[in-house]
Amino acid sequence: MNGIHDLGGKHGVGELDVETNEPIFHGEWEKQVFGIFFGLAPHGFFNLDEFRHAIERMGAAKYLNTSYYDHWLTSFETLLVEKGVITAEELATRCAEVAKEMN
């Protein structure tokens, strides 16, 4: 797939930004995303290739403007809906509830 993820040699994607003493995770939400990957793995809803492929079909603008663990999260959302584990509606409803409750 010749998508935006194929970044080798591309120009114009910004400057190197190296954080000194970088933590392993930036915030709780990154840990949650990382953990969900392992929580889901034993169920076999999707394999690693499907997981990467779902990231590769995010679309160029979204891919470049979101962080690594957001890519993972997007892949979970895409695949879990496609595989019928959850529905897009229940996810959207729950997101709205969380946003209302927490914000």
Partner 1 sequence: MGSAHNRPLSDPEIRVKALESLLVEKGLIDPKIIDVLVDTYENKVGPHNGAQVVARAWSDPQYKKRLLDDGTAAIAELGFTGMQGEDMVVVENTRDVHNMLVCTLCSCYPWPTLGLPPVWYKAAPYRARAVSDPRGVLKEFGVNLPNDKEVRVWDSTAELRYMVLPERPAGTESMTEAELAELVTRDSMIGVALVQSPA
CB of 59 to partner 1, least distance (A): 15
Which ranges of 1-102 would DSSP assign to H, the alpha helix? 28-40, 48-56, 60-65, 68-82, 88-102
- The Cβ of residue 19 has, within 10 Å, a number of other Cβ atoms equal to 7
Site track for partner 1 across 40-69, x = CB under 8 A: x--x----xx--x--x--------x-xxxx
Q: Can you tell me the distance from the alpha carbon of 24 to that of 8, in angstroms, rounded to the nearest whole number?
A: 25
Site track for partner 1 across 68-97, x = CB under 8 A: xxx--x--xx--x----xx---xx--xx-x
Straight-line distance from the first to the last Cα atom of the chain, in angstroms, rounded to the nearest whole number: 39
Residues of the shown chain interacting with partner 1 in the complex, contacts defined by CB under 8 A: 5-11, 13-19, 22, 24-29, 31-36, 38-40, 43, 48-49, 52, 55, 64, 66-70, 73, 76-77, 80, 85-86, 90-91, 94-95, 97-99, 102-103
